[in-house]
């Protein structure tokens, strides 16, 4: 009878994952021999009556990450490891079966005094499913309110200034792909020559560059989601610059670090004398341009690789300041004209004496019957 190989956990315990009657079973024991014996017994159909073994939250998180390593991105695993090491430290050595909702709420309250609300929410987003897999439900814990940061995207008049400022820059093409095509930084740096159709001026988004568990940037053969895999029409202005790029041995278009691109965007904004933004801010700028031009939402989502319409509309649907100003002016003019019209109608009404014959304090606004003096006009 073949038993899956036992793996030693960082905690020192041994773990075996195996399928029994279509169900995935996890076995954790103090020694490798005990884990194998229990696995063999379960495989043989024996029923093992035992109380839940003591497992700390730290051990449970390690087991959770291990069981899902094949489907998690390196960046996600790295984030989980960071949470495991630095967040909810007061709970990490507690037995998961003894942890209650009240314990988690107290831990959340303490963490909220130390880090941002988003960091607390992300940490809880790991802790809750880990505990749930151990049979402990802490649903209903109140989290601190996350304050969404103000997105920094460029105004129309700034876009041309940026394009001029990056001309000849070593990161010119990556920046153009971000602001002109709305590509993510990870997608831009994941481009290889087999993704570029020079004859038809097309770019196929297939790969990404992401940080691994050790925070090293690695090429990943998949994108953020299935909707991110797309083909984008590339303008001649950018395609000509791509053709002029030197061919790297690794087949990638760009060999720069993602952080390097961020710094070049920052410096370009300084040179251009425009609002500072990020590479992702350029993606937001592209979304604002599409919205302004009246591009159909479905095409905009396909072009930008957004997974769902709600995400595109809520997160990336912008209106430029000039349009806001025009809209506000139109709205204010509409209501102002109504006030003027009503006051004029009331003053000239035959049933009401003219202002010259009527004391100012006896003139009333038609809507609210509020007494007005002549200076209100």
Query: Which DSSP string do the residues of 27-70 spell out, in sequence order?
Result: EEESSHHHHHHHHHHHHTT-----PPPP-BHHHHHHHHHHHHTT
In this structure, the answer to whether residues 84 and 125 fall within a common structural domain is yes
pLDDT of residue 27: 83
pLDDT of residue 333: 85
In this structure, the answer to whether residues 128 and 172 fall within a common structural domain is no
In this structure, the answer to whether residues 205 and 259 fall within a common structural domain is yes
pLDDT of residue 170: 95
In this structure, the answer to whether residues 293 and 175 fall within a common structural domain is yes
Give the number of domains in the chain. Answer: 4
In this structure, the answer to whether residues 167 and 272 fall within a common structural domain is yes
Flag whether pLDDT at 230 surpasses 70: yes
Flag whether pLDDT at 340 surpasses 70: no
Residue 208's SS3 state is strand
Kindly report the backbone phi and psi dihedral angles of residue 376, in degrees, each rounded to the nearest multiple of 5, phi listed first. -65, -20
In this structure, the answer to whether residues 199 and 276 fall within a common structural domain is yes
Flag whether pLDDT at 357 surpasses 70: no
Better-scored residue on pLDDT, 13 or 269? 269
CATH label of the domain that carries residue 306: 1.10.443.10
In this structure, the answer to whether residues 251 and 340 fall within a common structural domain is no
pLDDT of residue 285: 93
Flag whether pLDDT at 220 surpasses 80: yes
Flag whether pLDDT at 364 surpasses 70: no
Q: How far apart are CA 96 and CA 251, in angstroms?
A: 48
In this structure, the answer to whether residues 167 and 271 fall within a common structural domain is yes
Give the pLDDT band of residue 253 (cuts 50, 70, 90). very high
End-to-end CA distance of the chain: give it in Å, rounded: 95
In this structure, the answer to whether residues 161 and 272 fall within a common structural domain is yes
Flag whether pLDDT at 331 surpasses 90: no
In this structure, the answer to whether residues 71 and 168 fall within a common structural domain is no
Flag whether pLDDT at 119 surpasses 50: yes
pLDDT of residue 317: 64
Better-scored residue on pLDDT, 10 or 279? 279
User: Would you say 175 and 265 are in contact if contact means Cβ atoms under 8 Å apart?
Assistant: yes
Residue finishing a domain among 97, 115, 147: 147
> Mean pLDDT score of the chain, rounded to an integer?
84
Chain segment 172-215, per-residue pLDDT in tens? 999 999 999 999 999 999 999 999 999 999 999 999 998 887 88
Residue finishing a domain among 271, 292, 316: 316
DSSP H helices, 134-194, are 156-165, 172-181, 185-189
Question: In this predicted structure, which of 74-83, 136-145, 303-312, 316-325 has the lowest mean pLDDT?
Answer: 316-325
Q: How far apart are CA 205 and CA 190, in angstroms?
A: 8
Give the pLDDT band of residue 370 (cuts 50, 70, 90). very low
User: What would the mean pLDDT of 269-276 be, rounded to a whole number?
Assistant: 95
265, 270, 276: which is closest to 150 by C-alpha? 276
Chain segment 64-116, per-residue pLDDT in tens? 999 998 888 888 899 999 999 999 999 999 999 999 999 999 999 999 999 99
In this structure, the answer to whether residues 281 and 327 fall within a common structural domain is no
User: Would you say 118 and 149 are in contact if contact means Cβ atoms under 8 Å apart?
Assistant: no
Flag whether pLDDT at 14 surpasses 90: no
Give the pLDDT band of residue 17 (cuts 50, 70, 90). confident
Residue 374's SS3 state is helix
CATH label of the domain that carries residue 105: 1.10.150.130
Highest mean pLDDT among 107-121, 139-153, 286-300: 107-121
pLDDT of residue 376: 37
Domain of residue 125 covers 53-147
Chain segment 231-243, per-residue pLDDT in tens? 999 999 999 999 9
Question: In this predicted structure, which of 27-31, 118-122, 157-161, 335-339 has the lowest mean pLDDT?
Answer: 335-339
Highest mean pLDDT among 72-76, 220-224, 271-275, 297-301: 271-275
In this structure, the answer to whether residues 46 and 84 fall within a common structural domain is no
Residue finishing a domain among 113, 147, 181: 147
User: What would the mean pLDDT of 28-49 be, rounded to a whole number?
Assistant: 77
Better-scored residue on pLDDT, 260 or 218? 260
């Amino acid at each position: 009878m073949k038993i899956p190989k036992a793996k030693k956990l960082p905690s020192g315990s041994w773990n075996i994952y195996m399928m029994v009657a279509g169900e995935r079973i996890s076995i954790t024991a103090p020694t490798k021999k005990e884990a194998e014996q229990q696995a063999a017994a379960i495989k043989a159909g024996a029923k093992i009556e035992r109380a839940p073994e003591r497992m700390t939250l730290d051990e449970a998180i390690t087991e959770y990450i291990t069981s899902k390593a094949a489907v998690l991105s390196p960046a996600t695993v790295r984030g989980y490891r960071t949470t495991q090491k630095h967040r909810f430290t007061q709970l990490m050595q507690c037995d998961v079966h003894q942890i209650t909702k009240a314990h988690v709420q107290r831990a959340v309250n303490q963490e909220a005094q130390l880090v941002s609300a988003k960091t607390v929410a992300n940490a809880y987003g790991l802790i809750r499913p880990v505990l749930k897999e151990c049979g402990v439900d802490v649903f209903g814990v109140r989290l601190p309110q996350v304050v969404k940061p103000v997105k920094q995207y460029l105004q129309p008049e700034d876009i041309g200034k940026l394009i001029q400022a990056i001309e000849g820059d070593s990161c010119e093409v990556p920046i153009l792909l971000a602001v002109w095509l709305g590509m993510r930084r990870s997608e831009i740096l994941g481009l290889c020559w087999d993704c570029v159709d020079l004859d038809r001026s097309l770019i196929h988004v297939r790969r990404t560059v992401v940080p691994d568990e050790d925070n090293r940037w690695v090429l990943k053969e998949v994108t953020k989601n299935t909707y991110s895999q797309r083909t984008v029409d590339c303008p001649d202005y950018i395609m000509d610059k791509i053709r002029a790029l030197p061919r790297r041995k690794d087949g990638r278009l760009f060999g720069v670090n993602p952080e390097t691109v961020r710094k070049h965007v920052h410096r370009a904004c300084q040179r251009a004398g425009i609002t500072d933004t990020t590479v992702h801010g350029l993606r937001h700028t592209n979304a604002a341009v599409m919205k302004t031009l009246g591009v159909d939402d479905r095409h905009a989502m396909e072009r930008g690789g957004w997974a769902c319409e709600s995400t595109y509309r809520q997160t990336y649907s912008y209106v430029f300041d000039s349009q806001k100003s025009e809209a506000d002016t139109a709205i204010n003019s509409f209501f102002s004209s109504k006030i003027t019209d009503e006051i004029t109608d009331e003053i000239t009404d035959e049933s009401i004496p003219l202002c010259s014959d009527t004391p100012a304090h006896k003139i009333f606004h038609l809507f609210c019957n509020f007494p007005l003096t002549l200076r209100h006009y």
